[in-house]
Structure 1
Amino acid sequence: MEFSGFEGFEKRLELHFFGDDPNPTINHQLGLRKLEFESIQQILQAVQCTVVSAVGNSYFDAYVLSESSLFVYPTKIIIKTCGTTQLLKSIIPLIYFANTHLNFTLSSVSYTRGSFIFPNSQPFPHTSFNEEVSYLENTIPSNLCFRKASIMPSKSSSHSWHVFTATQNPHHHIPYEQYTMEICMTELDPILAGKFFRRPDEEKSGNSSGNQMTELTGINEINKEAFICDFAFDPCGYSMNGMDGECYSTIHVTPEDGYSYASFECVGSISDNDDNIVHMLRKVVQIFRPGTMSVSITTCSEYNNEVWRKVTGALEPLGLKCRSCAMDQFPAIGSVVFQTFTPRRRKNASK
């Protein structure tokens, strides 16, 4: 029998909706945030995960899940789950609740993930990317007719990037200067990964232990302006959601030796601060020191060259070399730049 540990690599689904009411009430302006918690629980039940902690601000609600995170904005929802969850099974109940409760219509879908560490352990419809694409094609409404599926390759077979998008409007994509950054890291430094284990005799709650891990590891230094909701799992593992105005960030850690994994994701504006992406990348690398790392940034195509140079410029001084860089265009989300990094080989001291 093939050994199978916990699958750290997440599946990420983002759905955008629009309403038909020309004079929306305050409830309609809240949009998807008005969905009852029971409806959210039913959606997550289809995925096979649960809520362990939740916070909200004036822009969106953020949920830490038993397997990763959920973000709910007025007109979009982002679900990110790991393990053997069946993420794509959330689409049908999501469309149903958005339509029946809010009279909202689905306008675009994007699905992304890395390469699973334990692909043979994944259940339907995640047994392969072809199966996932087939499921998506048959599940989403036919009016989302502008579609594209692609596997963006790299020199590391363990870090290919799988992307599917669909929209009814080919010119609809993320705001001009906004970016989404998804980082996947494997082969974490064992000492640093050890900070995400709880002590056997520890009696603190998952929230208290999570807060301790956030400060101990320096995660709270990535964005000092963010309000952090964190959770530590027993006996190991960690999740956090950060809220900074309308922007979110999230981290998930599977620290077990042999299949260690960590991810960092955030949204932001390229115009906010030229050094913002550089700062976050460097802090993330310092916290985990991965053996292999991939960075995917989704943004307007005008920033393609600027993005990959900025990422490379941030990571190379830390001893990481860019091994591959791929770029592609997708309906609904714009441009994706996908890069992989590994440490530079050190020269043999005897030579």
Structure 2
Amino acid sequence: MYLLVISCILTRIYSLFFEGSEKKAEIIIDAKQVSLIDDLADSFWQALVQCCNAKILSKIENDGCKAFLLSESSLFVWHDRLLILTCGNTRLVHSVEYFIQQLGMNKIQQITYQRKNEYFAHAQLSSFGDDITLLGKYVAGKAFRFGELDGHHNYIFHQDNNFQVSKEDKTYELIAYQICQKASEKLTTVGLNPHEIRAFLQLDRLLAGFILDDFVFEPFGYSINAIKGLQYLTIHITPQANSSYVSIQANINLITLAPEFLRILAPKSIDLLSFNELEFSELAQQYIPKAYISKSLFQQHLSNNSLVSFANYILPQTSFSSAELLDIKGQRHAL
């Protein structure tokens, strides 16, 4: 009965808002033993995604990469690795556990698990601590927090073994919070189709030559996967004004693309995170508009040879906003 009550409460909560903050896992395998593209059928990936309470909506592929658009974010598969992101009320760690159990640790070279602070962390089914306790049953690892505890921050767990990541293995994240009213109103227009959103974000120009796969959610929300050879980019948008959140992740340099996205979205705050971008500070100084002020800056070498850099920026406000009137009966999650 207690679990039923909790389930009903969580269902009620998620009918009122959607948690855009994502959990993320990357698993690198020994491609000499198995190819994730050639040796595993799509049914395997369907089962893996179901483990975290998500489902596959569509797929695009080329010779080097499969990209699955999910009901909660994305899954990318290459011959030697996978990258999965899930948002909402998912438990991504269960998908990681499924992968470990099915393939065995002898085929896995490195596991990285990441989770950022949520808008409504208390509504999640687990915490970062819960997740890495589960992973600890299979791998020894280290965990770090990037960012201030009372602000935007990321938790990163990585397997602590002899594996060394290539310095050429670069990835980037650009997270935008509280997008401007114009962008929020556009992206919450009833009946908006994928072509209109791509035009608004100018994605056909920015991603020329990429294979694109996108989806518009009900009532609002947008996801797109883009692949070109081994390159990928994915965007997930929760546009509602009271909890707007845009996640852009790629292995192409998002710092150099930041001015384009910031001009369109004009968020009040952004996070930048990169793995192995040695010129992170120089690029951020060059490309992040001067109107944004750095609030926190963290950098750490991991034992797997990765250099992780994280920065949070805010756009100082020059005028007062009105306090939000809360529905004290229907918004108990926000009180």
What is the match of residue 5 of structure 2?
none
Cα distance between partner residues in 1 of 2:207 and 2:160: 32
Equivalent position amino acid for 1:242 in 2: A
Moved more, 128-137 or 106-115: 128-137
The partner residue of 1:212 within 186, 193, 196 is 196
| Percent sequence identity over aligned pairs | 22
* Aligned counterpart for 1:283 among listed residues 253, 257, 260: 260
Residues 32 and 76, structure 1, Cα contact 8 Å, conserved in 2: no
Map 1:183-332 onto structure 2 (within 5 A): 183-199=174-190, 202=191, 209-268=193-252, 277-299=254-276, 303=278, 306-317=279-290, 319-332=291-304
> For 1:86-235, what aligned pairs fall within 5 Å after superposition?
86-99=91-104, 105-123=107-125, 126=126, 128-138=127-137, 140-141=138-139, 145=140, 147-154=141-148, 157-170=150-163, 172-173=164-165, 175-199=166-190, 202=191, 209-235=193-219
The normalised TM-score by structure 1 is 0.81
Is this contact kept in 2: 1:264–1:284, CA < 8 A? no
The answer to which of 112-121 and 81-90 deviates more is: 112-121
Deviation at 1:288, TM superposition (A): 1.6
Q: For residue 105 of structure 1, report the CA deviation from its aligned partner.
A: 0.9
Q: 1:14 to 1:310 in 2, by over 3 A?
A: same
- 1:129-168 per-position Cα deviation (integer Å, ceiling 9, x unaligned): 2222212212x24xxx4x21011123x8341111100043
Q: 1:24 maps to what in 2?
A: none
- Over 3 Å counting, the alpha-carbon distance change for 1:130 and 1:59 in structure 2 is same
Cα 1:266–1:13 shift into 2, 3 Å: same
Question: Residue 72 of structure 1: SS of its match in structure 2?
Answer: strand
TM-score (norm 2): 0.84
Cross-structure match for 1:273: none
Q: Following the alignment from structure 1 to structure 2, what is the Cα–Cα distance between the partners of residues 104 and 334?
A: 22
Structure 1 residues 66-107: Cα deviation after superposition (integer angstroms, max 9, x where no partner): 0000000111111100000110001232123335xxx97111
Aligned pair in 2 of structure 1 residues 187, 109: CA closer, same or farther (>3 Å)? same
Instruction: Please point out which of 81, 85, 92 is paired with 2:90.
Output: 85
Give unmatched runs, 5+ long, in structure 1: 22-27, 269-275
Q: CA RMSD in A?
A: 2.4
CA distance in 1, matches of 2:157, 2:285: 26
**Count of residue pairs the alignment pairs up:** 308
Cα distance in structure 2, aligned partners of 1:246 and 1:20: 18
Q: Give the 3 Å change call, closer, same or farther, for CA 181–35 of structure 1 in structure 2.
A: same
Q: Which residue of 2 aligns with 1:272?
A: none
Q: How far did 1:257 drift?
A: 1.7
Tell me the distance in 2 between the aligned counterparts of 1:117 and 1:33.
39
SS in 2 for 1:176: coil
